[in-house]
Amino acid sequence: MKCFNFTYSVDHLYIIPIVPHCLVIGLMVHFSITDKSNLGNDLKENYLNIKLSNVI
């Protein structure tokens, strides 16, 4: 829910690019918990690193 609150507080135009990111992160966290292998964690770390590099 924080994702949706953030998008509405910033600007309704940011809903399209931000919501998918929140969904992807949520799915990666879900898979990292359900899947005991390191695949979920690797994907999550790589995705977060890419997002941080884009922000900076």
Q: What is the pLDDT along the chain (56 residues), one digit of tens a residue?
A: 444 444 444 455 444 555 566 667 776 666 655 555 555 566 667 666 666 666 65
Q: Rounded to a whole number, what is the distance in angstroms from the first to the last CA of the chain? A: 25
Taking the C-alpha atoms of residue 1 and residue 17, their distance in angstroms, rounded to an integer, is 16
- Tell me the backbone φ, ψ of residue 37, rounded to 5 degrees: -75, 175
Taking the C-alpha atoms of residue 45 and residue 38, their distance in angstroms, rounded to an integer, is 11
Residue 29 structure tokens: 């966290």
Question: Which residues have a Cβ under 8 Å from the Cβ of 9 and sit 6 or more positions away?
Answer: none
